[in-house]
Amino acid sequence: MNKPALATVFLVVMIDLLGFGIVLPLLPFYAKEFAASAVTIGLLYSVYSFMQLIFSPIWGSWSDRIGRRPIMLLSTFGAVIAYIIFGLAESVGVLFLSRIVAGMMGGNISTAQAYIADVTDSENRARGMGLIGAAFGIGFVIGPATATGLIHPAFHEFVASIGFTEFAEWMSTNRFALPGFFAAFLSFCSFLMVLFKLPETVDTTKERTGEFRRPSVFTPRFWRLLSEQKGQSARGFLIPLIVGFFLLSFGESSLYSAFPLFAESELGMTAEQVGVQFFYIGIIAVVVQGFLIKPLTNVFSEEKLFIAGNVMMVIGLGLIPFANSMLTLALFLGLMAAGKSLNTPTITSLISKEANDDNVGAVMGASQGLSGLGRMIGPTWGGALFAITFGLPFVATALIVSATIWIGFGLMKKSG
């Protein structure tokens, strides 16, 4: 296991995701400045995931052919451009452009996962993948807090008090510009780290067979090539695992719309209290994926941890509408978050082991693309079911996500 390379990938992804975490919670408020409707705001989120569905397999496939570094350089620099556009936006159309560019260039995560697969052995794969999850957790904990600080009037007053009066006035007038530019700066730091610190892991001179030359999830040939993958595990169980990854992302993202509505209407929670719960979920992700996944994989197989995580996630998700206080809600959310933090690194590790060595990037790109599709559908699903009755989005989603438990048992059976 190449620990320096792992540390570099972790820092690259974490710094990039800090920028993502800064911009994401500001998006609906920024769009409202241009009188955007709720539907338009929803589309701003969905268009990013749709672009990922199309482009993640493409960047993954290209990373197998031309190397991981060029694709990570492209994706981090693409994020710089997307965030600059975000900071300069003066209409909803320009905001859409920033989200489209960000989604198109969003090959960083899948390529980083392929890189981790390159530099880890079978025993340490889940631990390496857990670093990506921990980076997500840190990004979604620190990013929104940073965004709040950058747009807060108290920060503007502090800047004015130290002599930068004109800059403070500009920040007050253009509230969302500075967060966008700061996110661009963070992504540029990631770009420089890849450029100067990250070694290449792909032998680009190697002759390859069964390449994903037209890596589109909308073509039958793409799925046929996926079904033919038999990597280190030789189980031929890749497509069920990718479907499982889609379901897990769908289940988690359904919370984005349904959970705040439930917390406000049924428990009388404020926006700040809901934000604390999301902060709590992020902390669990950092602890489990950053620190606990290694000792757990030393004791239990990845397949068993995957099933355990799915069971915990389904139970926690299904119990949310039965919460009668913030304490019980935190308990159920914590169970769900711990389960998600167990099944995410294990399923990405298992997916990477199903891929042929020549196609790891394409396979990780496909899994991230389908995960993006789940994140695109989930919030709309959760909001629509909440309009029927408050408990329906959680119970119905838990029933759907329970299919991942049977995928896990199928995997165990395939493993003999």
CATH number of 221-416, picked from 3.40.47.10, 1.20.1250.20, 3.40.190.10, 3.40.50.1820 = 1.20.1250.20
The answer to whether residue 342 scores a pLDDT higher than 80 is yes
Cβ(202)–Cβ(118) under 8 Å?
Answer: yes
Architecture in CATH of 1-194 = Up-down Bundle (1.20)
Helix, strand, coil percentages in the chain from 3-state DSSP, rounded to 5: 85, 0, 15
Q: Which of 153, 182, 164 is nearest to 22 (CA)?
A: 182
Q: Note whether 1-194 and 221-416 share their fold.
A: yes
Question: Binning pLDDT at 50, 70 and 90, where does residue 209 land?
Answer: low
Terminal alpha carbon distance of the chain: 27
The pLDDT score that the predictor gives to residue 406 is 96
Residues 6+ apart with CB under 8 A from 35: none
pLDDT tens for each residue of 132-182: 889 888 887 888 888 888 888 888 899 999 988 998 898 888 888 999 999
Q: Which of 122, 83, 127 is nearest to 102 (CA)?
A: 83
Question: Helices 220-227 & 360-388, crossing angle to 10 degrees?
Answer: 110
Q: Where are the domains of the chain?
A: 1-194, 221-416
SS3 per residue for 257-289? HHHHHHHHHHHCCCHHHHHHHHHHHHHHHHHHH
pLDDT winner (highest mean) among 4-13, 309-318, 352-361: 309-318
pLDDT tens for each residue of 57-95: 889 889 988 999 999 999 999 999 999 999 999 999 999
Cβ(46)–Cβ(206) under 8 Å?
Answer: no
pLDDT tens for each residue of 109-137: 889 999 999 999 888 899 999 988 898 88
The answer to whether residue 373 scores a pLDDT higher than 70 is yes
Task: Report residue 159 as tokens.
Answer: 């800047």
Question: Binning pLDDT at 50, 70 and 90, where does residue 216 land?
Answer: low
pLDDT tens for each residue of 93-102: 999 999 999 9
Cβ(87)–Cβ(180) under 8 Å?
Answer: yes
Angstrom CA distances, 51 to 45, 57, 227, 386, stand at: 11, 11, 24, 27
Task: Report residue 279 as tokens.
Answer: 């902060």
Q: Which of 95, 15, 2, 84 is nearest to 47 (CA)?
A: 95
The answer to whether residue 234 scores a pLDDT higher than 60 is no
The pLDDT score that the predictor gives to residue 175 is 86
